[in-house]
Amino acid sequence: MKCIFAVCSSLLLAMPALRAQSKAATPSAPSAVYHSVVRVEVATQVPDYGTPWNSGRFSGGIGTGFIIGENKILTNAHVASNARRILITIHGSPEKYPAKVEYIAHDCDLAILSVDDFTDFESFPKLELGDIPALESQVRVIGYPIGGDRISVTRGVVSRVDFQPYAHSRADSHLVVQIDAAINPGNSGGPVLQDGKVVGVAFQGLRQADNTGYIIPTPVVKRFLKDIEDGHYDHYADLGISEFPLFNPAMRKALGLPNDGTGVMITNVVPGSSSDGILQPGDVLMSLDKYAVDSDGMVLIDGEKVNLNEVIERKFAGDKVAVRFKRDEGWNDVEIELKPLKWSRMYAIQYEKDPRYLVFAGLVFQPLDTNLFATSKFTDVTVRRLYTDYVPKGLFQKHKDIVVLTRVESDPVTSQLTDYEGFAVNKINGVEVTDLVQANELLHPENPPEFFVIELFGADRPIVIPSSKVDDANRRVQKNYGIASLSNLKD
């Protein structure tokens, strides 16, 4: 099943033969809501980062979506990711409606689907968004979890409002609401209702506990919908800092702070980020937009203590945030204009993208990212360090890609080179490698040298390939391993 962590959902409707009769009837309030919840069936194709020239394996899964506007069906990104075919089903009808992804935001696990013909859906209610549900209040989860083909309704109580990781991207954290109702595969993308309004979208569960599920609350949903109003999803803005809690009384005294439970220390400022040149390590962050930051990095918003990044989460690129911080003995008040930190996607799983690669005389080069890191399980300490430091230390400023020799296909030219798999490329013919496109240019110059010399970080000696043998090696490798194209350089 697709989406281990999440759940999928669907909707009730009459059969085509009974459609007129169904529309003529006046449904009760609950059944009207059910008519707006649909079953989403997805066929997927997952890229193969181990052998990147292969098309990847086919899979599929079931999820849930619900109507929020004219031909707008909201669901989870993980329901629709890597989709090759999407079919929408209305409860009670055998008809499957082809659908497509209009917008998808993997960082907040939300997507908008549309169907080719919305006519049969026009009479269904368009569900409205409400506010964050209060602690201890009851909610309804509607969807199509595993174990049956019909709609399922469960009830739960809101037990926590928190700022936690979203499993889909593996790299992003946002506001979540925890409820004591299980979110099972199939529920994903289904509405969570309170007083007739949507207060969240079901999206992941907790395996270590029974009857514990998480929903994406409406501030995250509303931000996503606001972002796509211009026809494009622009991602989240980022302050670009790391912080450290200030609990220790001795540390607070050394920093000249009273022991009043406020403020966190900034430990890193990402080069090129929103805060670069304004904040610096050692500063003590005291407030954001007049929300006081406590010594655990929390702020009080809407009656709940949440991570300070929630202040930034509700803004967009180009917006400004008022920052108050202490440096040495002085207090500072500044405005910081926010922008996305696009290089942080290095740490997120990528979807809807074919792996980039370059095959050269049996040597396979790929740019390092989380998809590749998870597939190859690199053990070389330098590769792991380059991956870890890529954003915090600003390696992206010089290296668009960290190019890695991931495979050595068997060929007479490469017969003694298998020990070099998993090393990062430093130089090709004396030129420092900064991205995969440049590496391709260095390996395919207009006037080839007698030898191609490839230096790897941490390797005892360079790889030396006679240029006169490259073309024959390429032909053999391409034929023996069924490689249709020796490269895919598209970003």
Cβ–Cβ under 8 Å, residues 412 and 473: yes
Which residue is associated with the tokens 């993980």? 78
Task: Count Cβ atoms below 10 Å from residue 270 Cβ, excluding itself.
Answer: 21
Tell me the C-alpha distance between 312 and 280, whole Å.
18
Which residues are known catalytic residues? 78, 109, 188
Give the Å distances, CA to CA, from 88 to 41, 45, 120, 436.
6, 18, 12, 40
Cβ–Cβ under 8 Å, residues 244 and 268: no
Cβ–Cβ under 8 Å, residues 317 and 336: no
Cβ–Cβ under 8 Å, residues 281 and 267: yes
